[in-house]
Structure 1
Amino acid sequence: MSATRRIGAAGHEHGPDAPLHATAEALVRAERAARVLLVEGISDVVALETLAEVDGIDLTRTVILPAGGAHAVGPFLRRFGPQGTGTLAGGLCDAAEAPFLRKGLRLAGWSGTPDDILGRAGFFVCDIDLEDELLRAVGLDAALEIIAREGEADALHTLQAQAAWRDAPLAAQLRRFLSSRAGRKTRYAALFVRAIPWDAHPRPLRAVLDVGRRAG
């Protein structure tokens, strides 16, 4: 296995080429799937797959497709939306990327107002991003315990000592920590989802899985 094909959480690759490989591999499976859920990145895939496993949701006929960012969703919306296969059941996006997704949905054949087009298409928005949703659900103290168990407390403390982050809120420090190393967001997505109480999982994640289940 090459250095760029390292396998991390839930069997997902991490490394500089991981997003491209993940999209390409999911795209092949999506062509044969009964339904497709569209997300931005690999960590979203891992979070949803882990939550489905925890909840006993069968994803056998569903493919969660990472687009590689909201700016890249257009071709996938057209390919799997009402102008294509019609198998796109919905998806997940970050709050900052919602305007790009709304525009893409309109161009790909969905109807609706700016206020309701996302919901009509089965898409749900994380208040900030996936990491923020997971950190609020698991709790900051629990997140710190998980990071310590993973042997990365010193790495977090190093970041917290940096001038740019020294006075930042803990939640912001943790979000930066998760994004500061390749594969870290993916790894902790699975760990956090498993640590969140059953009735406290983020609403956008549960809603996306419910949409995918109803579509099947």
Structure 2
Amino acid sequence: MRAAILVEGVSDSAALHALAKRQGRDLTAEGVEILVMDGATNAARYLREYGPAGQGLKLAGLFDEAEERFFRLGLARAGFEPGPETEDLEELGFYVCRADLEDELIRAVGAEQVLRIVAAEGEERSFRTLQRQPAMRDKTLLHQLRRMMGGRSGGKERWARLLAEAVPLDRVPRPLDMVLARL
């Protein structure tokens, strides 16, 4: 392994693997591994272990907007010098999903196409039930879709892979495209 992409969870890994495959890349053959940290709070440990003070790998990463502080702190503790802006993290190879991976993918694929995927996966009835719940009735379609994706065990991973397989390659969300291009 010569390089690693640090990600918060298995859904990020599933999306990146699917996109890399669609781009004709074999990450394993290239010596690039996607490391699932099981949450952004583990960023410091992974950055120390795999960064310059540890294995000395070339690193990049992907994180949700709400988790930026953990990556910033982790980078500082691992000997990197992250500046105060999100763009400073990008210069180091770490990219933010606004608001999260699911949000990025739904916007890139388009809500109507996502609904077609939901139907094709046999989940339309379940999704319509979720939409009728009192807490969901006034929410946007984007919010409802994001909620559905995280509502079941393994759901985020499943939907991340399906949406990454469906997104037009010229509409891949910027943070996913950039993190793959970095390594």
Q: Per the shorter chain, which TM-score range?
A: over 0.9
Partner of 2:83: 113
Aligned partner (choices 138, 143, 154) of residue 167 of structure 1: 138
Say whether the 8 Å CA contact 1:39–1:67 is kept in structure 2: yes
SS in 2 for 1:73: helix
Say whether the 8 Å CA contact 1:102–1:117 is kept in structure 2: no
SS in 2 for 1:84: coil
Aligned partner (choices 68, 81, 94) of residue 51 of structure 2: 81
Aligned partner (choices 50, 56, 59) of residue 27 of structure 2: 59
Aligned residue type for 2:3:
R
Say whether the 8 Å CA contact 1:110–1:117 is kept in structure 2: no
2-structure distance, mates of 1:117, 1:57: 27
Query: Can you give the 5+ residue segments of structure 1 that lack an aligned partner in the other structure?
Result: 1-32
- After TM superposition, the structure 1 stretch with the greater mean CA deviation from structure 2, 87-96 or 123-132, is 87-96
Q: Displacement, 1:120?
A: 3.0
Identity, in percent, stands at: 47
Partner of 2:98: 127
Partner of 1:95: 65
2-structure distance, mates of 1:117, 1:55: 27
2-structure distance, mates of 1:166, 1:139: 20
2-structure distance, mates of 1:88, 1:66: 16
Say whether the 8 Å CA contact 1:95–1:126 is kept in structure 2: yes
- The higher relative CO (CA closer than 8 Å, separation ≥ 6) is in 2
TM-score (norm: length of structure 1): 0.81
Moved over 2 A (4+): none
Q: Counterparts of 1:185-204 in structure 2 under 5 Å?
A: 185-204=156-175
1-structure distance, mates of 2:159, 2:70: 27
Say whether the 8 Å CA contact 1:80–1:87 is kept in structure 2: yes
1-structure distance, mates of 2:106, 2:121: 16
1-structure distance, mates of 2:88, 2:57: 17
TM-score (norm: length of structure 2): 0.95
Say whether the 8 Å CA contact 2:44–2:70 is kept in structure 1: no
2-structure distance, mates of 1:66, 1:38: 6
Partner of 1:39: 7
Q: Displacement, 1:112?
A: 3.3
